[in-house]
Amino acid sequence: MLCLLVAFLMVQGSTAPSASAVITVPVANMYARPNANADVVSQAIFGANAQIAGRRGAWLRIRTADSYTGWITASSALRRKPYAQDGSCIEVESLFANLYREADVTKHRPVLTVPFEARFEVLSGRNDDPRWLPVRLPGGRKVWVQRGDVTSDPKPQTITDVIAFSRRFLGLPYLWGGTSTYGFDCSGFTQMLCRRRGVLIPRDASQQAAWPGMTAVTRDRLQPGDLLYFGASADKITHTGMYIGDGEFIDATPWQRPVIQIDLLDDEHWAPLFVAARRIQ
């Protein structure tokens, strides 16, 4: 189920790649230019497949599954065929998961600590260990992950389920350009919540509001699960969150407390900035 869903979202969000790579670090910053002093425009997380759109020295320009482009350091990815799409694969469902060199948490520090939604290929063969799974990293190394941190069959969630699920992330840090549990920005967070419903929406808030896969909703007809958009005007959208009912929405914001939090639509800060609402068709 997971591999089929990942493959479907990849097809929906991109064209056939001329060259592909997989992210091999927990989180790779995507920069506007091939320079670490440039703006961070987004991120790609461990196990994510991307198209290679260009190279300049020690930098790769990649296109992710949502058709977003940016520059990453070449050491953050491995050029290879798509990873964790065919056959047996798993996805991290804890906020974070530690990977170990052996099936033991006490002998050595983790090889890697990866965020929610990171993906792996499970090594073939019989494994009756009730606690551990052997997985293969993109470069071929064998490591171990605890079964309680991962799932092999994440099913699309209902709106009610997604709203309950979203509360798991309360208090995680806000991070401009962030798309992982190490830190989300507003549109990265709403995009992730929509993925839980099996829908891949665009990356940026303004792109989401203009996406033809959604319909406009008036404020008096808001329903839980609708996406809210804020800004100076409908043409200058700068923020988004998900409506959860009773006049509340959940969002990743730097306003007052830079964390994922629940805010009131009628709050004196948010009310004048509200410009649009959208419902996934």
The number of C-alpha atoms within 13 Å of 87 and in the hemisphere containing its C-beta is 11
Task: Summarize pLDDT for 180-230 with one digit per residue, the tens.
Answer: 999 999 999 999 999 999 999 999 999 999 999 999 999 999 999 999 999
What's residue 140's pLDDT? 96
CA atoms of 52 and 79, how far apart (whole Å):
8
User: pLDDT > 90: what percent of the chain?
Assistant: 89
Task: Give CA 267 to chain center in angstroms.
Answer: 28
Residue 92 is which amino acid?
V
CA atoms of 180 and 77, how far apart (whole Å):
17
- Out of 19-33, 74-88, 131-145, 220-234, which region has the weakest mean confidence (pLDDT)? 74-88
Give the other-Cβ count within 10 Å of 213's Cβ.
Answer: 14
Domains delineated in the chain: 2-79 (2.30.30.40), 89-151 (2.30.30.40), 159-280 (3.90.1720.10)
Task: Summarize pLDDT for 142-184 with one digit per residue, the tens.
Answer: 999 999 999 998 889 999 999 999 999 999 999 999 999 999 9
Task: Summarize pLDDT for 38-61 with one digit per residue, the tens.
Answer: 999 999 999 999 999 999 999 999
CA atoms of 194 and 82, how far apart (whole Å):
23
Task: Summarize pLDDT for 245-263 with one digit per residue, the tens.
Answer: 999 999 999 999 999 999 9
